[in-house]
Structure 1
Amino acid sequence: MRRIKTTILYHCVVMGMGLSLYQTSAQANDDPLSVLPPEIAVKKSFSMMPQLRASNLGIRLADNQKAKLNAGHYEWTAKLGLNRRSEQLGASYQEQEFALERPLRWFGKADKDRAIGDKGMDVAKASYADQWHEASRSLMKDWFDAMRESRSLVTLRHQVEIAGQLAAIASKRVKAGDVARLEQISAETELQRVRALLQQAEQREELALQQLQMTYPGLPLPSFNELPVPKNISETDTLSTEHWLHKIMDDNHELELAQAEAAYVALQAARIEQDKMPDPTIGIRSSRERNGQERIMGLSISIPFPGAARQSERLVAITKSQIANEKMLQTQMKVQLMAQKAITDAQRNFSSWQTLDRLSQQSQQQASLMQKAYQLGEVGISETLTARKNASDATLAASSAQIDALAAYARLHLDAHLIWALEEEH
Structure 2
Amino acid sequence: MTPTAAFQARLHALVLAGLLACTLPSHAAGALAAGEHPPHTNPLARLNPEAQPWVASLHQVLPPDAPVRAMLLRQPQVQAAHAGVGVAQGRQARLAAGPHEWTVKSGLQQRRESLGPRFTEGELALERGLRLPGKQITDQAMGRAEIEVSTLAFEDTWHESARSLLKAWFDWLREARSSRTLAEQAQLAEQQLKVVQRRIQAGEAARLEGLQAEAESSRAQAAWQQAAARERSLQADLLRRYPALQASVQSLAPANLPAPSALPEGAAAWVERVLADNHELELAEAQVQQAELQARRAGLDKQADPSVGVRAARERGGAEQVFGIYLSLPLGGAARQADEQIALAQAQVARDKAAEVRQRVSSEAWRIAWLASEGEVAWRSLDTAGQRMAQAAALAARAYSLGELPLGEALQSRRLALEAQLSADAARLDVLESQSRLLLDAHQMWTPPSHDKEQ
The equivalent position to 1:397 in structure 2, one of 423, 429, 436, is 423
Q: What's the CA shift for 1:32?
A: 2.6
Correspondences of 1:324-335 after superposition (within 5 Å): 324-335=350-361
Q: Which amino acid aligns with 2:274?
A: I
Rounded to whole Å, the distance in 2 between the matches of 1:305 and 1:136 is: 52
The answer as to 2:258 corresponding to 1:231 is no
The answer as to 2:231 corresponding to 1:201 is no
The answer to whether the 8 Å contact 1:65/1:117 transfers is: yes
TM-score between both structures, scaled by the size of structure 1? 0.90
The answer to whether the 8 Å contact 2:69/2:446 transfers is: yes
Q: Which amino acid aligns with 2:260?
A: P
Rounded to whole Å, the distance in 1 between the matches of 2:412 and 2:259 is: 29
| Alignment-derived partner of residue 125 in structure 2 | 99
Q: What's the CA shift for 1:151?
A: 0.4
The answer to whether the 8 Å contact 2:54/2:261 transfers is: no
The equivalent position to 1:366 in structure 2, one of 392, 405, 417, is 392
Q: Which amino acid aligns with 2:168?
A: D
| Alignment-derived partner of residue 249 in structure 1 | 275
| Alignment-derived partner of residue 48 in structure 2 | none
Q: Which amino acid aligns with 1:181?
A: R
SS in 2 for 1:400: helix
TM-score between both structures, scaled by the size of structure 2? 0.85
Rounded to whole Å, the distance in 2 between the matches of 1:217 and 1:308 is: 58
Rounded to whole Å, the distance in 1 between the matches of 2:102 and 2:408 is: 94
The answer to whether the 8 Å contact 2:100/2:128 transfers is: yes
The equivalent position to 1:310 in structure 2, one of 312, 316, 336, is 336
The answer to whether the 8 Å contact 2:260/2:428 transfers is: yes
Q: Which amino acid aligns with 2:352?
A: E
Worse-matched range after superposition: 340-349 or 392-401:
340-349
Call closer, same or farther: CA 1:85–1:30 in 2, change over 3 Å. Answer: closer
Rounded to whole Å, the distance in 2 between the matches of 1:255 and 1:151 is: 35
| Alignment-derived partner of residue 324 in structure 2 | 298
Provide structure 2 residue ranges, at least 5 long, that are not aligned to the other structure.
Answer: 1-52
The answer as to 2:315 corresponding to 1:289 is yes
Q: What's the CA shift for 1:28?
A: 9.4
The equivalent position to 1:385 in structure 2, one of 411, 429, 442, is 411
The equivalent position to 1:179 in structure 2, one of 201, 205, 229, is 205
Q: Which amino acid aligns with 1:224?
A: L
Q: What's the CA shift for 1:224?
A: 2.3
Rounded to whole Å, the distance in 1 between the matches of 2:81 and 2:56 is: 37
The answer as to 2:153 corresponding to 1:127 is yes
| Alignment-derived partner of residue 8 in structure 1 | none
The answer to whether the 8 Å contact 1:49/1:217 transfers is: no
The answer as to 2:439 corresponding to 1:413 is yes
Identity, % of aligned positions: 38
Rounded to whole Å, the distance in 1 between the matches of 2:310 and 2:448 is: 53
Worse-matched range after superposition: 27-36 or 322-331:
27-36
Rounded to whole Å, the distance in 2 between the matches of 1:170 and 1:30 is: 46
Rounded to whole Å, the distance in 2 between the matches of 1:421 and 1:29 is: 16
The equivalent position to 2:401 in structure 1, one of 370, 375, 379, is 375
The answer as to 2:194 corresponding to 1:164 is no
| Alignment-derived partner of residue 15 in structure 1 | none
SS in 2 for 1:83: strand
Q: What's the CA shift for 1:30?
A: 6.6
Cα displacement string for residues 304-347 of structure 1 (whole angstroms, at most 9, x for unaligned residues): 11111001001000010111111111111211111111111113
Rounded to whole Å, the distance in 1 between the matches of 2:440 and 2:366 is: 14
Q: Which amino acid aligns with 1:323?
A: V
Rounded to whole Å, the distance in 2 between the matches of 1:329 and 1:153 is: 44
Q: Which amino acid aligns with 2:211?
A: I
The equivalent position to 1:350 in structure 2, one of 365, 376, 387, is 376
Worse-matched range after superposition: 214-223 or 387-396:
214-223
Call closer, same or farther: CA 1:30–1:61 in 2, change over 3 Å. Answer: closer
SS in 1 for 2:152: helix
Cα displacement string for residues 238-293 of structure 1 (whole angstroms, at most 9, x for unaligned residues): xx233212110100000000011000111111011101111001100000011111
The answer to whether the 8 Å contact 2:260/2:376 transfers is: yes
Rounded to whole Å, the distance in 1 between the matches of 2:96 and 2:420 is: 66
Worse-matched range after superposition: 215-224 or 162-171:
215-224
Rounded to whole Å, the distance in 2 between the matches of 1:88 and 1:45 is: 83
Q: What's the CA shift for 1:94?
A: 1.0
Q: Which amino acid aligns with 2:135?
A: K
| Alignment-derived partner of residue 13 in structure 1 | none
Q: Which amino acid aligns with 1:102?
A: R
Rounded to whole Å, the distance in 2 between the matches of 1:262 and 1:244 is: 26
SS in 2 for 1:101: strand
RMSD: 1.4
Provide structure 1 residue ranges, at least 5 long, that are not aligned to the other structure.
Answer: 1-26
Cα displacement string for residues 125-156 of structure 1 (whole angstroms, at most 9, x for unaligned residues): 00010011111111111111100000011101
The equivalent position to 1:42 in structure 2, one of 68, 82, 86, is 68
Rounded to whole Å, the distance in 1 between the matches of 2:342 and 2:361 is: 28
Correspondences of 1:48-63 after superposition (within 5 Å): 48-63=74-89
Q: What's the CA shift for 1:410?
A: 0.8
Worse-matched range after superposition: 119-128 or 68-77:
68-77
The answer to whether the 8 Å contact 1:265/1:321 transfers is: yes
| Alignment-derived partner of residue 336 in structure 1 | 362
| Alignment-derived partner of residue 144 in structure 1 | 170
The answer to whether the 8 Å contact 1:272/1:314 transfers is: yes
Q: What's the CA shift for 1:366?
A: 0.2
